[in-house]
C-alpha cells in the first residue's frame, strides 16, 4: 500500500515539481528565538483567514452564520495583534518595509471584509452601518455625492446596494486578499523572520544580511509557526468566541443577531 502511495506521489511530483520547493521552505533556517509565542499571530491570522474562507463557502450551502460572523470579529482582532507585535519587535524596518506596507493593505481589506460582510445580513445593523458609511463617503470633497451613488448603486439603500456589496464581499475583496496574503507570505519566506529586538543590537543596512545569516538558525518547520499548537491556539480561540456568543445569545441577544 505504502509503495503504491509513494509511486502515485512520485507520478504527481514529476509533473508538479512541488516537493523540492516545499522541502526547501520547511528546512529554511530562521532565528532560534523566533520559536516563541510572540510570533504565533501571523499564522493565527492565516488560520482564521482560511477558516473564514471555508465557513464563507459553507454559508452558501448551510446556515452557519454565527461561526462566520464571530470568525470575522476574531480575524480583525488577531490581525491587529499581529500588527502590534511586528511593530513592537521592529519587523517593519529594513528589509521588511514592503512586508509591512502589504500588511497595511491586508488590514484595510480585512476591515473591508468585516464591513461588507455585515451588510450581507441586510438587517437593521446593515442599514444603519451603510448609512454611516455613506455619510462618511459623502464628505469626500467634490466627488462625495458620486462616491455615495457608486457605493449604494443608486440614490438610496436598496436591492442594488446588496448586489454591489455581495460582489465586493464574495469576489472582489477575497480575490485581492488571497493575492496579497500570497505576496506577504512570499516575502516572509524570502526575507526570513525578524529577530527579537535587543538593546544595543542596531539594524544596519550595510551589515544586516551578513549578521542575520551568520547567526545559528533552526529549520522553519521546527519553529513555533508550523507547530500544531498554533493551529490549536487559533481554533481554540475561535471556538471560545463561538461559545461566548452562544452564552450571550441565550442571555440577552434577540434571535435576529447572528
Q: Does 46 bind ligand HEM (CB under 6 A)?
A: yes
Q: Does 169 bind ligand HEM (CB under 6 A)?
A: no
Taking CB under 6 A as the binding criterion, the range among 13-21, 55-63, 96-104, 153-161 that sits at the site for ligand HEM is 96-104
Spatial separation of the C-alpha atoms in residues 124 and 119, rounded to whole Å = 9
Q: Which is nearer to ligand HEM, 91 or 148 (CB)?
A: 91
Q: Which three cell numbers stand for residue 166?
A: 455581495
* 35, 181, 183, 258: residue in contact with ligand HEM (rule CB under 6 A): 181
Q: Does 194 bind ligand HEM (CB under 6 A)?
A: yes
Taking CB under 6 A as the binding criterion, the range among 17-25, 101-109, 142-150, 239-247 that sits at the site for ligand HEM is 101-109
Q: Which is nearer to ligand HEM, 129 or 174 (CB)?
A: 174
Q: Does 188 bind ligand HEM (CB under 6 A)?
A: yes
Q: Degrees (nearest 5) of the Cα angle 91, 24, 220?
A: 40
Q: Does 238 bind ligand HEM (CB under 6 A)?
A: no
Q: Does 103 bind ligand HEM (CB under 6 A)?
A: yes
CB of 42 to ligand HEM, least distance (A): 2
Q: Which is nearer to ligand HEM, 64 or 181 (CB)?
A: 181
CB of 34 to ligand HEM, least distance (A): 7
Interacting residues with ligand HEM (CB under 6 A): 39, 41-43, 45-46, 49, 79, 82-83, 86, 91-92, 96, 99-100, 103-104, 106-107, 110, 181, 184-185, 188, 193-194, 225
Amino acid at each position: 500500500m505504502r509503495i503504491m502511495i509513494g509511486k502515485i506521489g512520485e507520478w504527481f511530483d514529476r509533473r508538479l515539481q512541488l516537493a523540492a520547493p516545499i522541502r526547501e521552505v520547511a528546512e529554511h533556517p530562521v532565528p532560534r528565538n523566533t520559536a516563541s509565542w510572540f510570533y504565533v499571530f501571523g499564522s493565527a491570522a492565516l488560520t482564521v483567514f482560511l477558516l473564514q474562507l471555508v465557513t464563507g463557502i459553507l454559508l452558501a450551502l448551510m446556515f452557519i452564520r454565527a461561526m462566520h460572523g464571530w470568525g470575522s470579529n476574531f480575524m480583525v482582532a488577531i490581525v491587529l495583534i499581529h500588527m502590534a507585535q511586528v511593530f513592537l519587535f521592529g519587523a517593519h524596518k529594513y528589509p521588511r518595509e514592503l512586508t509591512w506596507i502589504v500588511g497595511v493593505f491586508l488590514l484595510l481589506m480585512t476591515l473591508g471584509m468585516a464591513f461588507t460582510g455585515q451588510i450581507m445580513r441586510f438587517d437593521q445593523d446593515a442599514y444603519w452601518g451603510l448609512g454611516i458609511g455613506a455619510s462618511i463617503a459623502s464628505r469626500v470633497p467634490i466627488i462625495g455625492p458620486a462616491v455615495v451613488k457608486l457605493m449604494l448603486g443608486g440614490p438610496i439603500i436598496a436591492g442594488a446596494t446588496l448586489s454591489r456589496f455581495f460582489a465586493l464581499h464574495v469576489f472582489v475583496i477575497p480575490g485581492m486578499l488571497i493575492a496579497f496574503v500570497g505576496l506577504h507570505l512570499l516575502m516572509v519566506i524570502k526575507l526570513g523572520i525578524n529577530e527579537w529586538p535587543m538593546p544595543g543590537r542596531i539594524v544596519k543596512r550595510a551589515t544586516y544580511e551578513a549578521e542575520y545569516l551568520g547567526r545559528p538558525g533552526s529549520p522553519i518547520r521546527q519553529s513555533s509557526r508550523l507547530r500544531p499548537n498554533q493551529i490549536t491556539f487559533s481554533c481554540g480561540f475561535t471556538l471560545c468566541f463561538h461559545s461566548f456568543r452562544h452564552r450571550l445569545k441565550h442571555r440577552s441577544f434577540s434571535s435576529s443577531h447572528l
